[in-house]
Chains A and B, each alone.
Chain A
Amino acid sequence: MTADAIRTEGLVKTFGATRALDGLDLSVRTGEVHGFLGPNGSGKTTTIRILLGLLRADGGTARLLGGDPWTDATALHRRLAYVPGDVTLWPNLSGGEVIDLLGRLRGGLDAQRRAELLERFDLDPRKKGRAYSKGNRQKVALVAALASHVELLLLDEPTAGLDPLMEDVFRRVIRADQEQYGRTVLLSSHILAEVEALCDRVTIIRDGRAVEAGTLTELRHLTRTSVEVELALPPEGLAATAGVHNVQVHDGRVRFEVDTEALDPVVRRLAGYGVRSLLSQPPTLEELFLRHYGPRP
């Protein structure tokens, strides 16, 4: 018996010469909202499609809700709901018809919740598929997923087409959902604020591999604090101190970054140069993100 709703180990998927997943490890605990962060083309959608049994992994293992996503696909699908990153609808079906159809194909829809979600997302269910904008198509898929009786939500960049107001609604709904039902959510995204606001744990993926995984606090711990100081003496030897990066000097003002664990010795060392002023910025997830997103050193 595993406590993980999702667990992949060494997942590999290649498309011709492209290696979309290159040994991905991912574990999502039951009941948590897990952020799945990564730049475009890093393998987020491929991972979700493997978890749905739509794509077949070339290597590694994947377990979903205690089953095999490829062989037990339909049985598992009754217990999860999925919102694709790029929602396409049938041009001649109304949004309401699609919501009801997808809900029923999953095994049931909460009518009251459906009505409530339509209201909160301000979605007109009478429009035909071709008349919806990108954001509204996404809302159709979101309402269908959120109004279903399922234990796992797989959301692939679900807010990519939503306006800020609707993004906010989305966050509130997910949070309320979490308190009420304790669902497991895998939320792929590249929007940091969303992940910071919603997720208990985060996995950062790049080029088909998980480069960081852990709680937000753990990840923040890995990030660097930016420091700007005015010193009485020239900062000789500072650049060589362990944990100090990117030292820049401009007319007596020194800027650098410090690894969080090296903060204490570095501050002590600074005292020796005579600190006249000091400005420090706390670590942000964004910085960590940029470090992993940026070109590889």
Chain B
Amino acid sequence: MTTLVGTGPLLRLVLRRDRWILASWLAPLALLPPAVAASFVTLVPTDAARAQMARTMGGNAGLVALYGPLRGSSVGALTGWRLGFVPVAVAVISLLMVIRHTRADEEAGRRDLLGSTVVGRHAPLAAALLATVGANLVLAGLAGLGLIARGQPAGGSWALGAQFAVAGIAFAAVGGVAAQVTEGAGAARGIAQATLAGAFLLRAGGDIAGGGLGWLSWLSPLGWAQRLHPFGGDRWWLLAPVLAFAAALAVAAAVLSARRDVGGGLFPTRLGRPAGSLRTPVGLAWRQHRGLVAGWAVGLSAVGLVFGAVADSVGDIVRDNPALAEAFERLGGRARLVDTFLATVMGLVGLVAAGYAVQATLRLREEEITGRAEPVLATGVGRIAWAASHLGFALAGPAVVLAAAGFTTGAVHGLSTGQVGREVPRTVEAALVQLPAVWVLAALAVALFGLLPRAAPVAWGFLAGCLVLSLLGPILRLDQWMLDVSPFTHVPRLPAAAFAPAPLVWLAAVAAALTALGLAGLRRRDIPAS
């Protein structure tokens, strides 16, 4: 196996480069399961209370869409189910990690330096995959041990850890294949993330639609992982298809990499135009952002399609449960249930759009680090004008992305109820109302970029914090002041609740202040920041 020579030293290099990154996601994700389990034990101490809770939550279509069907009502089953977003998070991190150590290195030219030493053709890919698989196994081990330490049954504890790990491993392999296809790391990330989004939508769509369309979930690696049902059957045999999927993709990645040149993609690069019509920083920013905004708009439109299509059927979930149906009837009946579902979906869409906003904002930092900002700033373009050219996309882009998601949700939902004219404005409004909260996260990234540029990636940490507060805050019964930290807590839950302008004005004001602070810092500091 001479093509794998050097994998060992490269593996150590990957671990050395990523030691802090690994610690920063492994630690919180490993601590979540025992923490959530502990809070379930304190908050819902009796079997009866838990069974009641399982019935209510298991009947919430928004939660089923997010996490899949709930099996069982034990502390472990509830914990694993509520942590159903962790496999998706682990999948994102894993695919990014593999691309970072394969295609991104090639693009930066570091691969050539390594390739000239005693390193086999497949060694960099193998090292990246091994490191990522290893990190996922560590996460599985830590999560399992943490749950056992909290007195949870060992079988379920290990199954929950395995559920996290196989999602990561499967999408590490997806990242490995995507890294072979394109010359740019950005496009490779896009392909891998789109694959993940597709897998999520298949699972979510199949699970909410149920019945005749339930098989959709079984097309998705995330569906297989979800159906391991930790503490609710521990169906270990489902590891087989996920791991086979990962192995097949890893082999495919290796085969593809053997067919191409180092630094090249599968497709030859086309020549560009000999002369350009770009004349402003905004034009330059548009060329850099258009792919990103289009990709996110398409992705969130697809989310809207799926959730819009199943929105009307959420009422069916409670139909088999008369006690629950009666409760919902008192709360406003079927229409109310659908609106609550749509509000949950739009809250999720808002968080995803904030991911886009943070990514678009951090382009500024990327331009600075790579040195591409320097020639532009050495012309008649001032710092603020340069920053504004990118921030325009970070602030207006989410509006496009949210409107697209709101439109498809409303259009598809309206088609099924026969009221397109009524539904579209409601869902577009429910989507756009998220915008001020999205801006707050983009503005946090601007503030970090201006004042503490080296800490700019911490903006992702804020987003992760908001995600955890939104998804786990209510169930952990956190204090209101803690929930209030997230801007998304303050967004009116349209269409289930009434429109309230005050919190939106406040959020926009906070965003404006943070942006001003960041830009003031940018005017004062060195570029590139030392």
Given contacts A54-B526, A56-B526, A104-B279, contact A126 B273 (CB under 8 A): yes
Q: Within 8 Å of chain A (Cβ to Cβ): is B110?
A: no
Question: Would B274 and A101 count as touching, CB distance under 8 A?
Answer: no
Whether a CB of chain A sits under 8 angstroms from the CB of B93 is no
Flag whether A197 is at the interface (Cβ < 8 A): no
Cβ of A89 under 8 Å from chain B = yes
Inter-subunit contact A15/B278 (CB<8 Å): no
Q: B116 in the interface, Cβ–Cβ < 8 Å?
A: no
- Number of residues of chain B lying within 8 A (CB) of chain A: 39
Question: Among B269, B281, B371, which residue has its beta carbon within 8 angstroms of that of A131?
Answer: B269
Contact call B284/A88, Cβ cutoff below 8 A: no
Chain B residues contacting A128 (CB-CB under 8 Å) are: 269-272
Contact partners of A89 in chain B: CB under 8 A: 372
93-129 of chain A: CB within 8 A of chain B = 93-102, 104-107, 125-128
* Interface status of A55 (Cβ within 8 A of chain B): yes
Scoring A residues 33 to 75 as 1 if CB is less than 8 Å from chain B, else 0, what string do you get? 0000000000000000100101110000000000000000111
Q: A74-B382, A106-B380 are in contact. Are A90 and B287 (CB under 8 A)?
A: yes
- Cβ of A91 within 8 Å of any chain B Cβ, yes or no, is yes
Q: Are B276 and A54 in contact (CB under 8 A)?
A: no
Residues of A within 8 A of B283 (CB): 101
CB–CB B288/A90 < 8 A: yes
| Bound complex: CA A102 to CA B277 (Å) | 11
Give the complex CA separation of A87 and B272 in angstroms.
19
Whether A54 pairs with B378 at a CB distance below 8 angstroms is yes
Band of interface residues on A? 35 or more
Chain B interface helix/strand/loop/mixed:
loop
**Chain A interface, DSSP helix/strand/loop, else mixed:** mixed
Once bound together, how far apart are the Cα atoms of A33 and B291, in whole Å?
43
Shortest beta-carbon distance from A81 to chain B in Å: 8
Inter-chain contact A52/B377, CB cutoff 8 Å: yes
Residues of the B chain whose Cβ atoms lie less than 8 Å from the Cβ of A105: 279-281, 376, 379-381
Residue of A nearest to B283 (CB): A101
In the complex, whether B370 has a CB less than 8 A from a CB of chain A is yes
Whether the pair B276, A88 counts as a contact (CB closer than 8 A) is no
A127 to B269, CA, bound (A): 9
B476-527 CB contacts (< 8 Å) to partner A = 524-527
**Partner pick for A54 among B278, B281, B291, B377, CB 8 A cutoff:** B377
Q: Counting CB contacts under 8 A, is A84 at the interface?
A: yes
Chain B residues with CB below 8 A from A86, complex form: 371
Which residues of chain B come closer than 8 Å to A75, judged between CB atoms? 380
CA distance A105 to B281 in the complex (A): 8
Q: Contact: B276 with A96, CB < 8 Å?
A: yes
Give residues in B with beta carbon < 8 Å to A. 107, 183-184, 269-281, 283-284, 287-288, 291, 370-372, 374-382, 524-528, 530
9 residue pairs A–B, Cβ–Cβ below 8 Å: A49-B526, A55-B526, A74-B382, A78-B380, A88-B372, A100-B275, A127-B271, A128-B269, A131-B269
Chain A residues with CB under 8 Å of chain B are 15-16, 49, 52, 54-56, 73-75, 77-78, 80-82, 84, 86-102, 104-107, 125-128, 130-131, 141, 144, 154
Which 7 pairs of residues, A with B, have the shortest CB-CB distance?
A: A94-B272, A97-B276, A105-B379, A82-B378, A126-B271, A100-B276, A101-B278
